[in-house]
Structure 1
Amino acid sequence: AVDEAIAELSAYSKTPAYKTTVTNLMVQGCFSLLEPEVTVRCRQEDMALVESVIPEAQKIYTTEVAKQAKGTTKTVVLKLDKQNPLKGKAGGVVLSCNDGKIRVDNTLDARLRQLEEKDKPNLRKVLFPVQA
């Protein structure tokens, strides 16, 4: 099931909707880090797409900070790391700051692993039903 999901996510990364997803993943990562400079890593095949949405992600972040923390102005500079592409199959981004000491893994692979981990109780019920 996980392999099928990764295959579907990999196919999703070739759709127009993926552009919005990547932008949102970057913004969410910036909110987790709350740093003025953030490095972004992505798959080699996503480099051009990620680079193209960086200005939009920066703008959304600044706008959302102003909305949520009224009167607060906070900006972020996102820098694409072109030297160290990610090896994941499904796409997404990893954001880091402080020379990589703090990281947010917002790859689709990581999101899938989180869902898999959260759903273990339901999987147990299906695989090992209680015998009456």
Structure 2
Amino acid sequence: MSKIQKNSDNDKLIDSEKKIPTDQDVDKNLLPQENSKNSTLDNTIDIVDSKKTILNVPVNITVELGTSRIKIKDFLKFSKGSMLILNESIKEPLNIFMNGHLIASGEIVVLEEKYGIRITNIKNSLKTINISS
């Protein structure tokens, strides 16, 4: 039968007959080995695999041609052929967003009957990302 006693430090009940594990009771094979070549190699492989996974995540790229602020009543007057004037000049670079975050700017180009963007500026925080394996 277990003996239950009150621990004076924190007033919790403790079972005095429960065995506290010692170093001999712990299976050393279940513990991570410090400074092990295999452990270091496994960690490196995990990092490379994680990097490959992250680099292959699809993202949405959006290019913002411009913005305008109008009243709803003016929007409701639009019909086919109506013109919406944007605030940006044709000389200003277009903002490029990745998943809603501004990442770069560029200028519009036409390539094989499709629009494209020539990157003219990349945010400094993106320039420091190392993507080489």
The structure with the largest helix share of the pair is: 1
Same fold (TM over 0.5): no
Q: Say which structure, 1 or 2, has more relative contact order (CA 8 Å, 6+ apart).
A: 1
TM-score if structure 1 supplies the norm length? 0.19
Structure ID, larger Rg: 2
The structure with the largest strand share of the pair is: 2
TM-score if structure 2 supplies the norm length? 0.19
